[in-house]
Amino acid sequence: MKLAKSLYFQILCAVLLGVVVGHFWAQQAVALKPLGDAFIKLIKMMIAPVVFCTIVTGIAGMTDKRSLGRLMSKTLMLFLVLTIISLIIGLAAVNLLRPGVGMNIDPSTLSTAGLNQYTASAAKLSVVDFFLHIIPDTFIGAFNHGEVLPVLFIAVLSGFALSSMGDKGKPVLQVLESASTMVFRIFGYLMRFAPVGAFGALAFTVGQYGVSSLGSLAKLIGTLYIACAFFVLVVLGGLCRAYGFSLWKLLRYFREEFLVVLGTSSTEPVLPRMLEKLERLGCKKGVVGLVLPTGYSFNLDGTAIYLSLAALFIAQACNIDLTLGQTVTMLAIMLLSSKGAAGVTGSGFVALASTLTVIHDIPLAGLALLIGIDRFMSEARALTSLASNAVATVVMSLSENACDRETLLRHLNERPSDSPKTQVAWSAESGRQS
End-to-end CA, the chain: 24
CA pair distance 325, 304, nearest whole angstrom: 19
Q: Angle, to 10 degrees, between the axis of helix 301-317 and the axis of helix 374-399?
A: 140
For residue 90, what pLDDT is reported?
Answer: 94
DSSP 298-363: H--HHHHHHHHHHHHHHHHHTT-PPPHHHHHHHHHHHHHHHHHTTTSTTHHHHHHHHHHHHH-SS-
Residue 373 contacts residue 209 (beta carbons within 8 Å) = yes
Which sign, positive or negative, has the C-alpha torsion 187, 191, 192, 197? positive
Residue 367 contacts residue 336 (beta carbons within 8 Å) = no
Helix, strand, coil fractions of the chain, as percent rounded to 5: 80, 0, 20
Task: Classify residue 345 as exposed, middle or buried by CB count within 10 Å of its CB (0-12, 13-18, 19+).
Answer: exposed
CA pair distance 290, 17, nearest whole angstrom: 37
Query: pTM score, two decimals?
Result: 0.78
Residue 384 contacts residue 231 (beta carbons within 8 Å) = yes
State phi, psi for 146 to the nearest 5 degrees: 70, 20
Residue 194 predicted with pLDDT over 60: yes
Residue 410 predicted with pLDDT over 80: yes
The number of C-alpha atoms within 13 Å of 315 and in the hemisphere containing its C-beta is: 23
Residue 346 predicted with pLDDT over 70: no
Q: Could you give all domains of the chain from N- to C-terminal order, each with its CATH number?
A: 2-416 (1.10.3860.10)
For range 361-367, the mean pLDDT: 79
Query: 299-345 pLDDT, tens per residue?
Result: 889 989 999 999 999 888 888 888 888 888 888 888 877 765 554 44
Could you give the 3-state DSSP secondary structure of residue 390? helix
Q: By percentage, how much of the chain surpasses pLDDT 70?
A: 83
Residue 283 predicted with pLDDT over 50: yes
360 dihedral zone (left: phi>0; alpha: psi -120 to 50; beta): left
The CA–CA distances, whole Å, from 234 to 85, 343, 413 equal 11, 28, 21
CA pair distance 222, 318, nearest whole angstrom: 20
Query: 122-142 pLDDT, tens per residue?
Result: 555 555 666 677 788 888 887
Which sign, positive or negative, has the C-alpha torsion 307, 34, 29, 384? positive
